[in-house]
Structure formats: structure tokens, C-alpha cells
Amino acid sequence: EKQPFERIEVSREQALELFSENNFKVEIINELPEDKTITVYRCGPLVDLCRGPHIPNTSFVKAFACLKASSAYWRGKKERESLQRVYGISYPNSKSLKDYLYQLEEAKKYDHRQLGIKQELFFFNPLSPGSAFFLPHGACIYDKLMNFMKKQYRERGYEEVLSPNMYNMQLWETSGHAGHYKENMFTFQ
């Protein structure tokens, strides 16, 4: 089919009425600045809150794939509702999609997180999923890399500084990292 994606500007009141049954979208709408233009997109019977833009119509989607699904807390806060996050991709033809999926599989073969484990350089613990625990050979390589980098810094006139390993959550909110990674961060009061 060739269903168009239609961009529609709506008032705040119209948006709140349109999505009154969806608490998540109502929350988003209420947090928008008063002067913000609110847009929805329509494709057939589906109308959704979205900034867009989109492809002109559905005829541009010839091949698509669901890449993965995962659970996530609304806005990355464990006190909030748990949602399903779905990752997908589309291409204008099957060959392009097939090539992309092949590249993804090839990249997995060279994933440093897996190679390091297979080569017994480091391991990860579920209690600290973002931090590697270096094994003897991995620690040796790490030290050599650090010494090389320090030498490069000195030769180029840079001075080294050390920053703390823990930060106030405000830093991650300001940088935007909290919105993307909070469910994987270890936080405490």
C-alpha cells in the first residue's frame, strides 16, 4: 500500500484530549513548553504523538525487521511503570536489509566484550555489568596501554587529571546519559 504519513499540528488541548487514555503521552504533553508546536502523525487509522518527520508514505518500506525487544522503566526510573522497548529497522529493499543484518552478525564476531572474555582478558559480574574485572593478562595489556597513553600525553604537552568514579545524578541528567542508561546505572541515596 501507499498510505501517506500526514503531519498534523494540534493545540495542547487537542493533544491532551486525543491521548487522554495514555498517561505517558499526557505526561509528555504537559511537560512541553507552552509555546511548543505539538505535532501528531497519521498513517491510516493510526495517529501518534511525534515530532517527525517521516518518509512520505508506506511504499518506501519494502523490508523491515524487529531487531530486539527489552524491558525498560518509564523515563529510566525503577519506581515507574515497566514498559516494553522494541527496536526495529526498515529498508527500501530486501537486499539492503539483508546486507545490514549480515553486517550486524559480522560485528558480533569482533565485539570486544566477547573477545576479551574468550581470551580470558577480563570478565563481567552481574552486580557491576558496566565494569570489567581484568584478569592477569588483561591487566598487563591495560597497564601497557595506559603507559603508552601517558607517554603520548607528555610528548604532546598534555597534563593528566583524575576524576572521581562516582557522581551526583545531576551530572548524568544534564549530559542526557540518565535518560538513556539509567536502568543500567548503580545509584544510591
Burial class of 105 by CB neighbour count within 10 A (0 to 12, 13 to 18, 19+): exposed
How far apart, in whole angstroms, are the C-alpha atoms of residue 83 and residue 51?
Answer: 21
pLDDT (average), residues 131-149: 96
What mean pLDDT is predicted for residues 89-99? Answer: 96
Helix (H) or strand (E) holding 162: none
For the stretch 37-59, pLDDT in tens is 999 999 999 999 999 888 999 99
Residue 166 confidence (pLDDT): 80
CATH topology of domain 1-60: Replication Terminator Protein; Chain A, domain 2 (3.30.54)
Q: Are 135 and 152 in contact (CB under 8 A)?
A: no
* Whether the predicted model's global pTM rises above the 0.85 cut: no
User: Residue 76: pLDDT band by 50, 70, 90 thresholds?
Assistant: confident
> CA geometry: angle at 158 spanning 153 and 164, to 5°?
90
- Alpha carbon distance 34, 36 (integer Å): 6
Residue boundaries of the structural domains of the chain: 1-60, 111-158
Task: Identify the pLDDT of residue 184.
Answer: 77
